[in-house]
């Protein structure tokens, strides 16, 4: 079974790790723990910052995401020692990167967290998990 686990550096991602280790995935499963550092393209509110400052912000985001990926990979490896565990750190738009990676890799399942926003907060903020559910090439499991 090929399982793509999309995480970020929020406190909500810990719930994903807790969930995954409690499940009975087959011993020979393949896991990819994926994190996406968002692009800061022209037109975004971040694009007005000087280039060296943007580079520092991106580097800090990559470092934080790398730490998160290492933590998740170690947790999964500890609980599924026979499984293959890979880490992927991408840059781009999370929705697009998650869906594209899942399609190209041939994922059987995407596990993604949800912050549990309701009402107007969900509408204004948008939802990566909702968009992944609607467009994924495979099953999606949401961890609240």
Question: What pTM did the predictor assign?
Answer: 0.84
User: CATH number of the domain that 58 lies in?
Assistant: 3.40.50.620
Each residue's pLDDT tens digit, 49-88: 566 777 787 788 888 889 899 999 999 999 999 999 999 9
What is the chain's Cα-based Rg?
16
Total number of domains in the chain: 1
Instruction: State the DSSP H helix or E strand holding residue 143, giving kind and residue range, or none if neither.
Output: strand 139-143
Range of the domain at 45: 2-143
Each residue's pLDDT tens digit, 95-116: 999 999 999 999 999 999 887 5
């Amino acid at each position: 079974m090929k399982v793509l686990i999309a995480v970020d550096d929020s406190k909500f991602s810990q719930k994903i790790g807790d969930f995954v280790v409690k499940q009975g995935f087959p011993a020979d499963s393949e896991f990819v723990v994926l994190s996406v550092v968002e692009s800061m393209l022209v037109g975004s509110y971040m694009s007005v910052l000087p280039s060296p400052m943007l580079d520092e912000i991106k580097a800090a985001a990559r470092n934080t995401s790398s730490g998160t990926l290492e933590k998740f990979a170690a947790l999964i490896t500890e609980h599924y020692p026979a499984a293959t565990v890979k880490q992927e750190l991408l840059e781009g738009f999370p929705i697009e990167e998650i869906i594209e990676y899942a399609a190209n890799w041939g994922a059987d399942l995407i596990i993604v967290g949800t912050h549990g926003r309701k009402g107007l907060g969900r509408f204004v903020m948008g939802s990566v998990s909702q968009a992944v559910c609607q467009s994924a090439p495979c099953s999606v499991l949401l961890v609240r």
